[in-house]
Amino acid sequence: MKFAIFGNTYQAKKSSHAVTLFKLLKKQGAEIGMCREFYQFLVSENMDIKADQLFDGDDFTADMVISIGGDGTFLKAARRVGRKGIPILGINTGRLGFLADISPEEMEETFDEIQNGRYSVEERSVLQLICNDKHLQDSPYALNEIAILKRDSSSMISIRTAINGAYLNTYQADGLVIATPTGSTAYSLSVGGPIIVPHSNTIAITPVAPHSLNVRPIVIRDDWEITLDVESRSHNFLVAIDGRSETCKETTQLTIRRADYSIKVVKRFNHIFFDTLRSKMMWGADGRR
């Protein structure tokens, strides 16, 4: 198999896992392509890494992409994969890790399974932002969420929201998070949004610190279109697409819809979402024992 590898370039202490990964892949006779930035980082940390090919941007091909880091690294890899349709495996050297959910200790067993074809591939929906802001249109796709947020210490913003042209609500809040099921366990969850099972074909709309306590998250079908008009005393606001933020003018109208492609996520053949959820959220854990 041919692998393309992306990695976290900020955690030198954890980069040793990459050496183990390379040894496993070479042992299997795999062809290894590598993001140049990650390669240079590892070399600068005096690690003996030999790749068959280095690449920049999205100029690569592979049978499978490997992301070694946390969920943030996985999101960056997904952005580089885009419409290529290459499945992505996430090895977690970060913190929580819902997308990157293979621990370094599981690598050897996992790649043995992959070599024998014993793995599954899940299709995850992607959101697309449509607007007239050129900066946002450079990379308008989100695997996790698109967030509309006030700037720094400015006052609340007003977000007029319509679904398929029908008025829903004007949110007086610090922001609004539009999340896929994949992103429901990320930013949306931290501001009180619901956990959504993957493949449920839905989108969650969750306000950030709303002025009215009556305002609650709402879940809609993912083939519906969301239109947002924002008012702000500072006459601008932030749009964050999977954490990458840009400042927008108040007059910018935003349309959010499901993208016409999906991201493929590699899971171990015995993976069950509820097991991951229970483990990551520590449901049932009792510190008294």
Q: What is the pLDDT of residues 41-71, one digit of tens each?
A: 888 888 888 889 999 989 999 999 999 988 9
> Is 288 within a domain?
no
> Is 287 within a domain?
no
> Is 286 within a domain?
no
> Is 49 within a domain?
yes
Q: Are residues 170 and 93 in the same domain?
A: no
Closest CA to 208 of 233, 229, 238: 238
Res. 148 pLDDT band, cuts 50 70 90: very high
Average pLDDT of the chain to the nearest whole number: 92
> How many domains in the chain?
2
List 71, 101, 222, 242, catalytic entry: 71
| Distance from C-alpha of 235 to C-alpha of 178, rounded to nearest angstrom | 21
Res. 13 pLDDT band, cuts 50 70 90: low
> Is 285 within a domain?
no
Q: Are residues 129 and 255 in the same domain?
A: yes
Q: In the predicted model, is pLDDT for residue 204 greater than 90? A: yes
Given a contact cutoff of 8 angstroms between Cβ atoms, the answer to whether 178 and 225 are in contact is no
Q: Are residues 113 and 159 in the same domain?
A: no
Q: In the predicted model, is pLDDT for residue 208 greater than 70? A: yes
Q: Are residues 89 and 162 in the same domain?
A: no
pLDDT in tens, 63-109: 999 999 889 999 999 999 999 999 999 999 877 778 888 988 999 99
pLDDT of residue 170: 97
> Is 72 within a domain?
yes
Mean pLDDT, to the nearest integer, of 245-260?
94
| Distance from C-alpha of 173 to C-alpha of 203, rounded to nearest angstrom | 19
Q: Are residues 89 and 168 in the same domain?
A: no
Give me the residues paired with residue 230 across strands: 159
Contacts of 6 (CB under 8 A, 6+ apart): 35, 38, 65, 66, 67, 68, 69, 73, 76, 77, 80
Q: How many CB atoms lie within 10 A of CB 126?
A: 23
pLDDT of residue 289: 60
Q: Are residues 134 and 218 in the same domain?
A: yes
Show the domain range for 231.
125-259
The domain that contains 169 carries what CATH number?
A: 2.60.200.30
Q: In the predicted model, is pLDDT for residue 14 greater than 80? A: no
> Is 7 within a domain?
yes
Q: Are residues 192 and 273 in the same domain?
A: no
Q: Which residues are documented as binding site?
A: 71-72, 76, 144-145, 174, 185-190, 209
pLDDT of residue 137: 83
Query: Which has the higher per-residue pLDDT, 133 or 5?
Result: 5
Known catalytic residue: 71?
yes
Contacts of 147 (CB under 8 A, 6+ apart): 175, 176, 177, 178, 187, 208, 238, 239, 240
Q: In the predicted model, is pLDDT for residue 11 greater than 80? A: no
Q: Are residues 108 and 147 in the same domain?
A: no
The domain that contains 36 carries what CATH number?
A: 3.40.50.10330
Q: Are residues 137 and 217 in the same domain?
A: yes
Contacts of 214 (CB under 8 A, 6+ apart): none
Strands (E), the chain: 2-7, 31-35, 53-55, 64-69, 88-92, 119-130, 141-142, 145-149, 157-163, 166-173, 175-179, 202-208, 218-221, 226-231, 236-241, 244-249, 254-268
Q: Which residues are documented as binding site for NAD(+)?
A: 71-72, 76, 144-145, 174, 185-190, 209
Q: Are residues 211 and 274 in the same domain?
A: no
Q: Are residues 162 and 242 in the same domain?
A: yes
> Is 134 within a domain?
yes
Q: Is the pTM of this model over 0.85?
A: yes
Q: Are residues 148 and 255 in the same domain?
A: yes
For residue 241, give both structure tokens: 């697409």
Given a contact cutoff of 8 angstroms between Cβ atoms, the answer to whether 73 and 67 are in contact is yes
